[in-house]
């Protein structure tokens, strides 16, 4: 079967925007038993003759930092259990925050490859400098993207498929 790529990250970093940019129209929603795990959204993606299934693990948008952290832990667990490659997405405008570090620590402990995307780099000239602090996550090279502007996505996918 196809490799599975899961997208993990804090609320509002742009997970769904990235997912939609890559997914086109082929989206399906899989509902879980209530209380077990959150609904996941799946899409089939083809990049350079490589097919994979992409999962957006983001559920409802929580409004307290405790719940955000709990949801991120759940996402990380789902991703580590089911994915072949994990895209961990952060936000250059908010910079590196504690919740990013906590999830990175969880992801590092899995044996799964993690590809680090730093989103909202809408202007590579002025904002790319901001990606370097994300090396502190200890999960490798940060890749600048703009999910909304559809920039950097091809380079990101090249790295993702290199792990299949
Ligand atoms: P999610 O909660 O991680 O799924 O984030 P969303 O995909 O819902 O995006 C959250 C907000 O960030 C929305 O207002 C998006 O329009 C915005 N956003 C997403 N990607 C980009 C980007 O590349 N640049 C900018 N400036 N905003 C973005
Ligand atoms: Mg979302």
Strand runs (DSSP E) across 31-113, as ranges? 40-47, 50-56, 85-91
User: Domains in the chain, ordered, with CATH?
Assistant: 4-161 (3.40.50.300)
Least confidently predicted of 37-46, 95-104, 143-152? 37-46
Confidence of residue 62 (pLDDT cuts 50, 70, 90): low
> What's the average model confidence in pLDDT over 63-78?
76
More confident residue, 131 or 39: 131
pTM of the model: 0.90
Residue of minimum CA distance from atom 6 in ligand 1:
14
pLDDT digits (tens, 9 = 90+) for 10-49: 888 988 889 888 986 555 555 444 443 455 678 889 888 8
Task: Please give the structure tokens belonging to residue 56.
Answer: 């957006």
Tell me if 1 is assigned to a ligand binding site: no
State the pLDDT at residue 36. 39
Atom of ligand 1 nearest to the CA of 93: 26
State the pLDDT at residue 66. 77
Least confidently predicted of 7-11, 96-100, 133-137? 7-11
Ligand 1 in reach of 127 Cβ (< 6 A): no
pLDDT at 129 over 90: yes
Reference 134, options 92, 74, 103; nearest CA is 92
State the pLDDT at residue 89. 95
Percent of the chain with pLDDT over 70: 86
The alpha carbon of 23 and the centre of ligand 2 are apart by a number of angstroms equal to 14
Task: Please give the structure tokens belonging to residue 115.
Answer: 């590809």
Phi first, then psi, for residue 80 (nearest 5°) are -70, -30
State the pLDDT at residue 16. 85
């Amino acid at each position: 079967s196809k490799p599975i790529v899961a997208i993990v990250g804090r609320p509002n970093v742009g997970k769904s925007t990235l997912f939609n940019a890559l997914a086109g129209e082929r989206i399906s929603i899989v509902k879980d038993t209530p209380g077990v795990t959150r609904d996941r959204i799946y899409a089939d993606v083809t990049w350079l003759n490589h097919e994979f299934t992409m999962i957006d693990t983001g559920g409802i948008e929580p409004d307290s930092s405790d719940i955000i952290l709990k949801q991120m832990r759940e996402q990380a667990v789902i991703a580590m259990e089911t994915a072949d490659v994990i895209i961990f997405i952060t936000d250059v405008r908010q910079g590196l925050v504690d919740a990013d570090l906590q999830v990175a620590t969880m992801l590092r402990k899995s044996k799964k490859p993690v590809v680090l995307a730093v989103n909202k780099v809408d202007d590579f000239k002025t904002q790319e400098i901001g990606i370097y602090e994300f090396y502190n996550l200890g999960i490798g090279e940060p890749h600048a993207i703009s999910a909304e502007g559809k920039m950097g996505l091809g380079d990101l996918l090249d790295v993702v498929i290199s792990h299949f």
